[in-house]
Structure 1
Amino acid sequence: MARKVRAAQRGTWFPLLLLGVLTLGGILVDRFTFKVETVACPAGEAAAGSACTLVTQGSAVYWPLGLALAYAATACFYIRRSRNRGVGTRVRPYVLTGIVLVGLSSATAVWSLRHGMPQLGERLDFWGLQLDPTSGVTKFLERLAGNAMAVGLPLLVLAWVERSRALLLLAVVYLPIELVPLTTGWAGIPFTSPWSALPTFGVPGVLLLLGALGFGLAELSGRRNAS
């Protein structure tokens, strides 16, 4: 009986579908906000008076707003499903964790940019810590404060809520993908290309969509067997 109730409560494919579409949408957002500038190189990195290439892309509102809407839509989906099937839903921990972590991730970004975009060579202010932007620790913290925290950690909570080992495995695979930098070299895309975000968002986005497809097919198969 407990297994049947948990199966009726599950709707894992829906949040994975939303997160996958949102992640792939980040490719287009970065494509259309892409900008290349030629600026003076910071002291010590090149000869005096030489020029460096600065690439900027991304939207300050896309991820916070998109993730918040995704978690709100997930809550509505689970509540409606629980009413239609006459079983309770335990999705609240997942939704609350996601919204809190999205807020924390956004606050981290706002703190880092409160004095404007750091200039090339300037130290990055990470909650009062003046970090070298070129160091591995700084880059790891930036990735951790991004989708690894706002998407990966809530997926672990959802795996616990739904008692799903398959979702736990997907989350365990997803987190290293977000935490390990995906360079564009293997894809043959230069960092000055408007499509340079393709590997960064394409790999985790496809993983989430494949997960949504797998869970959706499993749910459909379960319904057919039950009928």
Structure 2
Amino acid sequence: MTTESAPAAGDPRRLLADMRTLAHRVRLDQRMTWSALLVLAAATLVAIPFDWFGMKLDCAPDGSCAYARRGMLYYWPWAMLLAYAAIAFLHVRAARARGLGSRVWPYAITGAVTTVVFPGAWVALAVYFSNHPYPEGPLPYWWYVLDRLVMPWGMIGVTLLVLAWLERNVALLLFTVGYLVLVLLVLPMSDGTRLVHWGGLRAQMAVPQLIVGVVLLLGALGFRRRQR
């Protein structure tokens, strides 16, 4: 009696392992995390001069100031729509060049939806406080967190969670969690007086945006280097 060894190519376990390895490589090749972060970083940094020069200030002799960030309101909806369109274009182009499919459309659609949330929440708050007196005393902390979440930089974090899920990207998930902690809990986006005490109100609101843009840019460079 003689025995013959089956070729490795016919081993079901080896075939299954090869299929899993191939599927993993395809998922890695489909990732364009760095390009999404780069586009979002550029949109965030370009927003700073719009917010700076488009901010309407009305300061009283006692030093108190009322402000309206009209430049940011007019800039971000269009900027985010263009940003997510650019991200979708880059993903589809890279996928076609590699002969792969693209899973970026749910991310782009989520980005478009969140783009509507920002001006919608802004208008809703403006209408509410025009018909109701502003609450006396300090606002609860959760109110500030919610306010930062519906701002453009908070919406960026929400869409990055969707991208991490689509790409099955644990590294991007960890980056996004850290980013959201920075935006929602660390940086005072609505009141920069605790962060800087120079340059007036415009500088106090520009510095957190600058930090967010730099963080996104560093993330883009890091993921690009990791993928290469």
TM-score after normalising by structure 2: 0.77
| Distance of aligned partners of 1:109 and 1:132 in 2 relative to their CA distance in 1, 3 Å threshold | farther
Which whole-Å deviations, capped at 9, do the CAs of 1:116-141 have from their partners, x for residues lacking one?
Answer: x859x943xxxxxxx66951343222
- Cα distance in 1 for partners of 2:202, 2:120 equals 27
SS across alignment from 1:25 = helix
- Cα distance in 2 for partners of 1:14, 1:149 equals 19
Shift of 1:53: 2.3
Verify: 1:25 aligned to 2:46, yes or no.
yes
Verify: 1:77 aligned to 2:90, yes or no.
yes
Deviation larger for 105-114 or 65-74: 105-114
Q: Structure 2 counterpart of 1:157, which letter?
A: V
Give the corresponding residue for 2:158: 153
1:174 pairs with 150, 154, 179, which one? 179
Q: How many percent of aligned residue pairs carry the same amino acid? A: 34
Does structure 2 conserve the Cα–Cα contact (< 8 Å) formed by 1:27 and 1:195?
A: no
Does structure 2 conserve the Cα–Cα contact (< 8 Å) formed by 1:105 and 1:149?
A: no
Shift of 1:58: 4.2
Does structure 1 conserve the Cα–Cα contact (< 8 Å) formed by 2:77 and 2:116?
A: yes
Verify: 1:194 aligned to 2:207, yes or no.
no
Verify: 1:135 aligned to 2:139, yes or no.
yes
Unpaired segments ≥5 residues, structure 2: 1-21
SS across alignment from 2:58 = strand
SS across alignment from 2:57 = strand
Does structure 1 conserve the Cα–Cα contact (< 8 Å) formed by 2:196 and 2:204?
A: no
2:111 pairs with 74, 77, 98, which one? 98
Q: Structure 1 counterpart of 2:198, which letter?
A: I
Does structure 1 conserve the Cα–Cα contact (< 8 Å) formed by 2:154 and 2:184?
A: no
Measured on the aligned residues, the alpha-carbon RMSD in Å equals: 2.6
| Distance of aligned partners of 1:207 and 1:51 in 2 relative to their CA distance in 1, 3 Å threshold | closer
Give the corresponding residue for 1:52: 64
| Distance of aligned partners of 1:132 and 1:178 in 2 relative to their CA distance in 1, 3 Å threshold | farther
Shift of 1:66: 0.7
Shift of 1:205: 1.0
Runs of 4+ aligned structure 1 residues displaced above 6 Å come to none
Structure richer in helix, relative to its length: 2
SS across alignment from 2:65 = strand
| Distance of aligned partners of 1:62 and 1:95 in 2 relative to their CA distance in 1, 3 Å threshold | same
Query: Of the two, which has the highest radius of gyration?
Result: 2
Q: Structure 2 counterpart of 1:79, which letter?
A: V
Verify: 1:62 aligned to 2:80, yes or no.
no
SS across alignment from 1:67 = helix
Shift of 1:97: 1.2
Verify: 1:219 aligned to 2:188, yes or no.
no
SS across alignment from 1:54 = strand
Give the corresponding residue for 1:209: 217
SS across alignment from 1:88 = coil
- Cα distance in 2 for partners of 1:133, 1:93 equals 42
SS across alignment from 1:195 = helix
Q: Structure 1 counterpart of 2:30, which letter?
A: Q
Unpaired segments ≥5 residues, structure 1: 41-49, 124-130, 221-227
TM-score after normalising by structure 1: 0.78
| Distance of aligned partners of 1:35 and 1:187 in 2 relative to their CA distance in 1, 3 Å threshold | same
